[in-house]
Amino acid sequence: MLDKDTITTIADDLAAAEDSRSMIPLLTARYPEMTVEDSYAVQNVWRDRVIASGRRMVGRKIGLTSKVMQVATGITEPDYGIIFDDMVYESGSVIEHAQYTGVRIEVELAFVLKEDLKGPHINQFDVLRATDYVVPALEILSSRIEMEGRTIVDTIADNAAMGAMVVGGRPIRPDDVDLRWISACLYRNETIEESGVSAAVLGHPAMGVAWLANKLHPHGDHLAAGDIILAGSFTRPMWVYPGDSVYADFNDLGVISCNFR
């Protein structure tokens, strides 16, 4: 376990990296004794600072919930990060590429809650009862820590590589369709780069939300009514560059688009 001063130093380094649009060396190389709990402590320091600056927390993201993402990253357990109000874009947005680092796109579903979810024994049926609606989403990944050789410890401290999200398409009630079989094709510059089906997220995307509610419980935290929860990607991350157009086709649930300048 790291001491409080070291936790603060790491949070300072990550904040500086975000400001300068750069990456710092792997935390696991600098602090080999660093644990998952240390990483969440770093994330919490960053969260509290952001809230103190006047930004509003609107939800959480869950990462690494599908086998395809675990294979792509070499990390075999889920993690979570924080979503703030200025991280949420509407479909059709033009997004400044330079504000992020190592920019990639993932295809996800976002759950918007109408009731609180408090662990420790939340299951997928609890999640479905507590969900107001589900909406197609894209996650924009941004890395403040070197990407080669990252472990779960590095990723969590980096707010699970959360940069921003784009929402669009057709919101649905959780019992309108079988959420396991929502599929999407992800295009970059009119070429399909990735495709997937949402059952890849722990067998059912609601399972990701249940995992998160239970994971938060030992820390005295919970998911609140009104929260947006990104349930995890069911495609590999797709790299994007300045000038790229992105288009995700969710079939009956509509489309999401954005452009990077």
CA-CA distances (angstroms) from residue 60 to 47, 80, 83, 139, 168?
A: 11, 7, 5, 12, 18
Query: Which is nearest to 254 in space by CA: 167, 180, 195?
Result: 167
Backbone φ and ψ for 210, nearest 5 degrees, come out as: -60, -45
Strands 93-95 and 255-260: parallel
Structure tokens that stand for 76 in this block? 């075999």
pLDDT in tens, 120-143: 999 999 999 999 999 999 999 999
Scored b (16 or more CB within 10 A) or e, 118-146 reads: bbeebebebbbebbeebbbbbbbbbbbbe
Q: Is CATH 2.30.30.60 the right assignment for the domain spanning 4-260?
A: no
Lowest mean pLDDT among 97-101, 150-154, 228-232: 150-154
pLDDT at 82: 96
Whether the Cβ atoms of residue 215 and residue 119 lie closer than 8 Å to each other: yes
Q: For the whole model, what pTM was predicted?
A: 0.93
Give the pLDDT band (50/70/90) at residue 219.
confident
More confident residue, 137 or 151: 137
pLDDT in tens, 157-212: 999 999 999 999 999 999 999 999 999 999 999 999 999 999 999 999 999 999 99
Structure tokens that stand for 162 in this block? 């959360």
Give the sheet arrangement for strand 93-95, strand by strand: 93-95, 255-260, 245-249, 183-188, 191-197
Query: Which is nearest to 24 in space by CA: 121, 144, 128?
Result: 144
Peptide bond just before 242 cis, omega within 30 deg? no
